[in-house]
Amino acid sequence: MTGMTSRIMTITAALTAAVASTALLVPAAGAATDTDRHGPGHGPGHGPGHGQRAEPEVFAHRGASGYRPEHTLEAYRLAIAQGADSIEPDLVPTSDGVLVARHENEISGTTDVADHPEFADRRTTKTIDGVAYTGWFTEDFTLTELKTLRAKERLPQVRPGNTAYDGLYEIPTLDEVLTLVRDESRRLGRTIGVAPETKHPTYFDSIGLSLEEPLVRTLHRRGLDHPRDRVVIQSFETGNLRDLDRMTRVPLAQLVDAAGAPYDLVEAGDGRTYADLVTRQGLREISRYADYLAPAKNLVLPRDPVTGATGEPSAVVEDAHRAGLPVVIWTLRAENQFMATNFRVGTDPNAPGDLYAESLAFLDAGVDVLFADHPDVAVAARDAWVRENRPGRGPGRGHGGR
């Protein structure tokens, strides 16, 4: 591995190429249907039993959230400029049923709501997925009220540079995000995808603000209801993905955490955990209603409990591919504290580590999509990896100066 200067030069060169690329979010490949497994028109990005995609993709996690306050139009716009194949809006509802982009429905950490005296009486405590939270919640505000708030950096101690943008940007609606994607796709001449995540679907069902219907209506209104459309809907729960499998033909992704269980299973008294979902039997079951597996990255490259370094890949990617599920890992972040020890640079937890090398390691492990807070670095690594792994190049992998 060469020094940081060489790596930065490689990243800059690859980024220039990435911004001009015409890669698509969900490349049209193989048969678009798999009616043996689930609803008509559904099917994974590649057929059952296939291996890694020749050209893996980069999803911008909440936009370019390493550089701008997350889930703002500016964060999404920057991610697109950095070459991301898709942007991700996490979705929560307002009291009048409009889907907006926030990581959580509790918004004190991502907006200036606490500075608005007119909303002081909205502060409350709620139990969501079995955990009590105190703050302000999107479902207690109309869209008009939410539009008076401004976004702020969620991790100011980790990303102090992003605080320069506090107070500048509104909370975007799903419609506004889709309009940005459409307009930027036309301007750049490449199709940009969107990967919405449905947040806390069991909870929102319980208060009469179901996410699935308005999401599907919005996508349908924009002509996004085909397996080849550049849309992937995500969820940490299983039940709403099964519902969505009957409601839409766009691809679905089962998110899998490194611990715990889907809350809809917990609520139903079902003892299965996320660990059960990534067994071979669990993956076969997922393939009946979803098109992607989206595990936490430590499930793919486990860390040594003593050293904290990654070792050999687990069986998750191979088993998922055997079940016909492309693999999306989350989340790649540039700061040391979010990395295994073998990718850290120095001892400052907030300093940048070697995200380029980490991205390459997951591509070498066989994953199909990288979720990244810093999409420019992930795109640069992906492009270098693709160049070195083109058919006919032989076994050597220089990785363009890794």
Please identify every residue annotated as catalytic.
Answer: 61, 103
User: Comparing C-alpha atoms, which of 272, 204, 196 is closest to residue 235?
Assistant: 196
Spatial contact of 298 and 309, defined as CB atoms under 8 Å apart: no
CA-based end-to-end distance of the chain:
5
CA dist., res. 309 & res. 1, Å (int): 17
Give CA separation, 319 vs 262, 263, 280, 389, in Å.
Answer: 20, 24, 6, 22
Structure tokens at 92: 């929560």
Spatial contact of 145 and 279, defined as CB atoms under 8 Å apart: no
How deeply is 379 buried, as exposed, middle or buried, from its count of CB atoms within 10 A (0-12, 13-18, 19+)? buried
DSSP labels, 316-382: HHHHHHHTT--BEEEEE-SBGGGS-GGG--SS-TTSB--HHHHHHHHHHTT-SEEEESSHHHHHHHH
Residue 7: phi and psi, rounded to 5, are: -65, -45
How deeply is 28 buried, as exposed, middle or buried, from its count of CB atoms within 10 A (0-12, 13-18, 19+)? exposed
Strands 233-235 and 57-60: unpaired
Residue 194: phi and psi, rounded to 5, are: -135, 135
